[in-house]
Structure 1
């Protein structure tokens, strides 16, 4: 199947010591898009020196800036922190691989037009936690908090978070069993994890 051409570009760099990929899919002409991305990467280099910079917050600000500047269809990806807006191709959702923080292997695939995805490695009984929602800084904070908990409090916190609002959770325990909040199903093509009981 041939896809219609969706103009844009991909830039690769680093942010807070991590590899970063920015995919911009936009009808902006190259003479406008190039300088805009150059400015974005200059700003990212300045963030390297900010003592309190957090990855989720930096990437969320970058994504908002791109959107405000007219690059409404984009993906900002730093491995375990991903922010997508708009479409990968006309009418097509972005594909976001949920990665195992220990191996880097893609564990599950999510599909969305506007989503923040943050994954954190857990301690002892929690192997990994992925939180999805509308803001990458908040998703990253929730993922880190849940990942630091023992399994039962982590499951309760995740279930409460999923029930209360726009953030949904995939939790993988030390035995590699995955459970998710019910709202996560809207981003997954099939049912792939047991649901958390409220």
Structure 2
């Protein structure tokens, strides 16, 4: 069963491949959709009454925020320290944890599905993907990573049975990733894909490497030791992959 929901400014597809009754799957999809809309209401940087906007204006204190917002802010602070400031929820000049929230929200949804009986599913939120189990018996999920200049082609195809894939790039939203250290848009990398066990972290790491620019390539290579593989394309068209990337194809 597959459902597509427009939420958080993107299309989110939910695919359940378990041999469960249709009514059970519908209920799981409804719960997942409700969660994603709740995340959008709390974390949207466009809705004036979201917790994030109210916190940024000073209408709320951190202590008054929901436990989800407090968790996200704590993780963003941890990521800021871990990345020497290159992952910064204030990089745009205002509070914006979007570089972590989308991946985190899908990871939370996937864990909920797994805990409630869905061992085989794939969630895709605008290219941030969390897959578990298999699409059919004996098969792995195949996740295409879009070519940064040719939208009808793929750069890589990532495979796996329990995998999170996050991609950050400037080919759709333009130069939206800010290098917080230099205070300017990051332009040296065209796209970065990170593959690992947790989609929130993978999402944040992809954003971090984009912000770092070409120096982010060496940083990505070191992430292999932490279980996060990667691939990147530079602005001048060079492609890089880390050693453990579970990719089965590379487009010409």
TM bucket, shorter chain: 0.7 to 0.9
Whether the 8 Å contact between 1:85 and 1:114 is mirrored in structure 2 is: yes
RMSD: 1.8
Moved over 6 A (4+): none
* Structure of higher CA gyration radius: 2
| 1:43 Cα deviation after fit | 1.8
TM-score, normalised via structure 2 length: 0.67
Structure 1, residues 154-174: CA drift from partner, whole Å, max 9, x if none? 111011112x22101101111
Aligned counterpart, 1:154: 216
Match of 1:48 among 27, 32, 40: 40
Q: Which has the higher contact order (CA 8 A, sep 6+)?
A: 2
- 1:26-65 paired onto structure 2 within 5 Å: 26-51=18-43, 52=52, 54-65=101-112
Unaligned stretches of 5+ residues in structure 2? 44-51, 53-97, 171-185
- 1:1-198 paired onto structure 2 within 5 Å: 9-51=1-43, 52=52, 54-100=101-147, 104-105=151-152, 106-121=154-169, 123-151=186-214, 153-162=215-224, 164-184=225-245, 187-189=246-248, 192=250
Whether the 8 Å contact between 1:116 and 1:133 is mirrored in structure 2 is: yes
| 1:104 Cα deviation after fit | 4.3
| 1:101 Cα deviation after fit | 5.6
Unaligned stretches of 5+ residues in structure 1? 1-8, 194-198
Cα distance in 1 between the residues matched to 2:4 and 2:243 = 34
If each structure's helix is expressed as a fraction of its own residues, which one has the higher value? 2
Structure 1, residues 82-102: CA drift from partner, whole Å, max 9, x if none? 110000110100010112466
Structure 1, residues 42-65: CA drift from partner, whole Å, max 9, x if none? 222111111256100010011111
**SS of equivalent residue, structure 1 residue 50:** helix
Whether the 8 Å contact between 1:80 and 1:101 is mirrored in structure 2 is: no
Q: Tell me: CA distance 1:118–1:102, structure 2 relative to 1, closer, same or farther (3 Å).
A: farther
